[in-house]
Amino acid sequence: MEKESLFWADQVAKEVVGSWKVGHYRTEMGIGASGIPHVGSAGDAVRSYVVSLGIKELGKKSELIAFSDDRDGLRKVPSGFPSSLEKEIGKPVSTITDPFGCHKSFALHVSSLLLDAFEKIGISFTLRRGNEEYRKGTFDKEVVEILTKWKKAGEIIKRVTGSEKFLSQLPFLPVCKSCGRVYTTRATGFDAAHKKIAYVCDQEFAGKSKGRDVLIKGCGFQGDAGIREGKLAWKVEFAARWRALDIHYEAYGKDILESVKCNDAICKEILGREPPVHSFYELFTERGGEKLSKSKGNVFTPQMWMRVASPESLRLLFLKRLGTTRVVDLDSIPALMDEVDELGGVYFGDMKIKNERELAHKKRLFEYVHFLQMPEKCGFTVPYQNLVNLVASLPIKEKDAIVQETLKVGKDEEGELKKRVAYATKWAGREKPPQVKIQLDKGEKKALMQLSEVLKKPLSGDEVQNVIFNIAKERGLKPSHFFRLLYKIIIGIDKGPRAGKLITILGREKVRQLIWKRI
């Protein structure tokens, strides 16, 4: 970068490097392991990954840690999962058997979906699993320090959140040795000499299954647990993770703002370490304004996005306007696909922007959308909705050839064309493309009626081409105008391959029906 970049990821990378003088920097994101990951779940990974890339551009070593929260308990049975999971509510998801039998645990089944999405998006990461890290003692030192100072931790939590819960109990959730649950236990004391936590399983909470509440009660067991036989409460766990794993950056959303503020204070005041640099982002919502949810039946996943659009368009969704609440669904895709193309036009100089700051921002955004692995040229572009309209009308066998001829795509761009046609075809299959509005005057209507009559005859493609040209001349229409009108009626855009060839491929009768719908 010739000048200092004002792009948010570069500014964060600079802040991280300025805050710590270390040989290796780590950014982090958490992986929820209790429900089907929605498209927003991949956002933390993309944001943390580009900050890691920004740190590398400053000449430093950096990696992204993806941390699976798989010692968390199950609170809800996700839609689409068997109701037999109700009996597992409250237990750590890493101890619950995968109901589908394809993974060793429920946690591995769920987290594998998000990890698969990361790979498809192109994110490089190091995976750490909470259950394994607790079991092998990664957090031993942090757990002991926090539990030794649990009263101070409780005061900090009250100061930040107003909650008095941890003034009378330790911020640790032992796994009950009797019922196996983690959310029904209450830690009552800590024996620092023997590293044992006294607890009673007497709490209750409302879990959920198929939209109804499921009351989960503790079994009444009393006993003690080792520091590796449970988990820290969320209000202190991030802090332990940040110090133990040496984390220097983590983004967070509005939904965990309070927890992050608590953990920042715990990290500094109890663990004696500065908290990592953060980026705050607003949450994505559904079109009705409701927050995206992992436990609802209509989860919109990253994989669903990438069936109908490029990974770059999904990266763009996460990298622009962090502080703005935005609707995200399949209808968001055309604009983002087109915006990636527009950014490419700016980057390669095909689109001119006079404002230098805006130009620099768009060029840097395009670089991060490509994870700094830049294409050699802009390549061909076509508005996504136009491509959807085009492929929706074409027979499968001839689709690629007709689109290639319509868009005048060169041999070197055939691969990109096929990908885009595949995206648009899947999109077109989910709903009817919007009908292009066409207003016809009397002369145009008569010309179309005449063409419809002629198309009753078994004509070749060349013969149809000549008929269209001659009808236009007879009716006093410009042939170029009449051809554009036909393309709009047949495929929804104002250009295409030779009209005669297109009509014979689609079928004369089908084209006659399309014409009569407009007359």
Domain CATH for 481:
1.10.10.350
The domain in which residue 394 lies consists of 384-430
List CB contacts of 50: < 8 A, sequence separation 6 or more. 9, 319, 368, 371
Within-domain flag for 74 = yes
Is there a single domain that holds both residue 36 and residue 116? yes
Residue 318 lies in a domain: no
Q: Do both 72 and 207 map to the same domain?
A: no
pLDDT score, position 297:
46
Alpha helices in 207-273 (DSSP H): 234-244, 257-269
Q: What is the mean pLDDT of the chain?
A: 90
Domain membership flag for residue 370 = no
Q: What is the domain-level CATH number for residue 34?
A: 3.40.50.620
Residue 356 lies in a domain: no
- Which candidate, 227, 228, 281, 220, places its Cα nearest to that of 250? 281
Q: Which two tokens stand for residue 306?
A: 């990438």
pTM score of the predicted model: 0.84
Q: Which SS3 state, helix, strand or coil, does residue 52 take?
A: helix
The 10s digit of each residue's pLDDT in 253-269 is 888 899 999 999 999 99
Q: Is residue 3 part of a domain?
A: no
| Residue 47, token pair as written in the block | 């944001």
Enclosing H/E stretch for 456: none
CA 33 from centre of chain: 16
Residue 483, classed as helix, strand or coil, is: helix
**Three-class secondary structure of residue 214 per DSSP:** strand
The residue among 285, 308, 326 that closes a domain is 285
Q: Please give the DSSP secondary-structure letter assigned to residue 123.
A: -
Same domain, 121 and 83: yes
Taking every pair of C-alpha atoms in the chain, what is the biggest distance, in angstroms? 101
Tokens found for residue 217: 């009660």
Terminal-to-terminal C-alpha distance of the chain: 58
Please give the Cα distance from 131 to 90 (Å, whole number): 15
Alpha helices in 162-287 (DSSP H): 234-244, 257-269
Choose the final residue of a domain: 246, 261, 285: 285
Q: What would the pLDDT profile of 167-214 be if each residue is shown by its tens digit?
A: 999 999 999 999 999 999 999 999 999 999 999 999 999 999 988 999
Q: Rounded CA gap, 441 and 437, in Å?
A: 13
What pLDDT is attached to residue 1?
A: 45
Say if residue 90 is in the same domain as residue 239: yes
Whether residue 120 sits in one domain with residue 265: yes
Burial of 495 (0-12, 13-18, 19+ CB in 10 A): middle
Torsion of CA 130, 131, 133, 137, to 10 degrees: 140
Residue 479 within a domain? yes
Q: What is the CA radius of gyration of the chain?
A: 29
Residue 481: the pLDDT is: 93
Residue 77 is inside which H or E element, if any? strand 76-77
Same domain for 181 and 219: yes
Per-residue CA distances from 301 to 200, 207, 288 (Å): 39, 23, 18
Q: Do residue 48 and residue 13 come from a single domain? A: yes
Residue 71 contacts residue 136 (beta carbons within 8 Å) = no
Residues of the chain with pLDDT under 70: 1-2, 283-298, 323-324, 393-400, 405-406, 430-436
Return phi, psi of residue 394, to 5°. Answer: -100, 145
Q: Which of 224, 50, 19, 33 lies closest to 122, judged by CA? A: 50
How many independent structural domains does the chain possess? 4
At 287 the pLDDT is 53
**22 and 84 co-located in one domain:** yes
The structure tokens 């196996």 sit at 180
362: in domain: no
On whether both 420 and 485 belong to a single domain, the answer is: no
The pLDDT of residue 434: 54
- Provide the Cα torsion 8, 13, 18, 21; round to 10°: 170
- Both 48 and 63 in a single domain? yes
Domain boundary residue, one of 232, 248, 275: 232
Query: Do 221 and 268 fall within a single domain?
Result: no
348 within some domain = no
Give the helix, strand, coil percentages of the chain, each rounded to 5.
50, 15, 35
Residues 34 and 126 in one domain: yes
